[in-house]
Structure 1
Amino acid sequence: MAIINETSGYVNVFLSSNVSTFTSQKRFPLSTTIAELKGKLELITGANSSTMQLQLLDRQRKLIQSLDDDTTSLEACHVHNDMIIHVIDSDPSKSLGEFEDLSKVEKYEMPEEEYAKRGESLRAFKEKMKLGRFAERDPESKLKEEEEATKAISIGARCEVTTPKAPPRRGVVMFVGKTHFKEGYWIGVKCDEPLGKNDGSVDGQRYFDCPPKYGLFVKPNSVKVGDYPEETLSDDEEM
């Protein structure tokens, strides 16, 4: 059995528990009372001090004594270095390993917009190095993907447009095809509200008619067609 370093006033013990499969080693002042120890062990083991029972074991896990008197100190209980203090939580609702099941822990998921703003992240590195989903695709393959996407979008269909850094916008599909202003396939949308950028024309070339600021051109993957009711202001909101 190891000898206590009496001049230090501390003792090193191993901790085990009936609600955890883990063991740990901690250092406590010899003056610590059993009541104080139970309070510290709540944070370490997850057991409740009000339903906690402590046993002092040797390294072979043989019972030396039960630590029942909350007023006594570790020194008075003859707790030596490298002994084991086993924590028993008598609460019947507790089970072995319940504090180790990470599937029960609610996880925080950072919004994509907030994560994208972080300069030093795996996403920023991949975007800079053009890796993964940020890798540059073959222009011909990209064009074929866009053409395939347009097959599910027909002129006159109700739709919702979702683009980065902008709220969802609803409207009617007015144009599907290629344009003069940029390569690839584009979808022209007449928005329900003045949340667009044009009147259906770009650089003098007209693709459809709508009031100014109601027209919008976006890529096919930004458009989802479906039963999207027209968004209108209520009577209380009209001006």
Structure 2
Amino acid sequence: MVKLLVDSDLCSVVKDIPQDASMAFLCDRIYPLTGIAPEDMQLTIEDQQGKILKSVKPLTAINSFPLKEYSGVSRIVVVDTNASSMANQLRQSDADVDAFTLSEADYAQRNDSVMAWKARNKLGRFDPEYQQRLNADRAVQESKLRSLQVGERCSVQSSDQPERRGWLRFVGKVPEISATEVWCGVQFDEPAGRNDGSFKGVVYFGPVGPNYGGFVKPSNVTTGPNFVPLEADFEWDDQEV
């Protein structure tokens, strides 16, 4: 199973989707969440770092298997291409409400708003399972942060790559990736990353050599003097951002 964040104008919800799901199956799961019919969907498939892996109209690739074809799929952005669809009408209704600059209290009382629609369908922040997973992940990340020391040797281990080692150079928020999450900036011993210590033009550490830097979740990092450089006896894949 893959934990997939489904984002549209009307929802932002995490769902467990089988990794071998076809595009047809994926559209069938996305439709009740977004209110967007498969024939109106434009999908942008992204990895954990926000890198766009593919942008596609589902009906042109209905027999494909996007979660298997691209490693690290984490988010799918769904755009409604039908201006007269129900989902677009709901979105326009929400924009009209904003134009009248209602107070938050008055807006929360409306039954025809996007907020009310999300609440009825338990989507986004109204989904108790999503909030529980979000809180649990935050607790894990915060707990791990207390054991990390910037400037120390480190080991980075994740489920989809071999162990990588280097130096922990940065701990903090990277707004270009997420406004709320904390990331670890690592200077790798080998070109095992996807940047030089910067992200979207902002330098967070270094700069180091091309592909010698990377930003990873704290839960994947362990620091300590025992993490000496590994022998470079394997090739790195191209999935880290």
- The verdict on a shared fold, with TM-score over 0.5 as the criterion, is no
- The structure with the largest alpha-carbon Rg is 1
TM-score, scaled relative to structure 2: 0.39
TM-score, scaled relative to structure 1: 0.39
Identify the structure with the greater helix proportion: 2
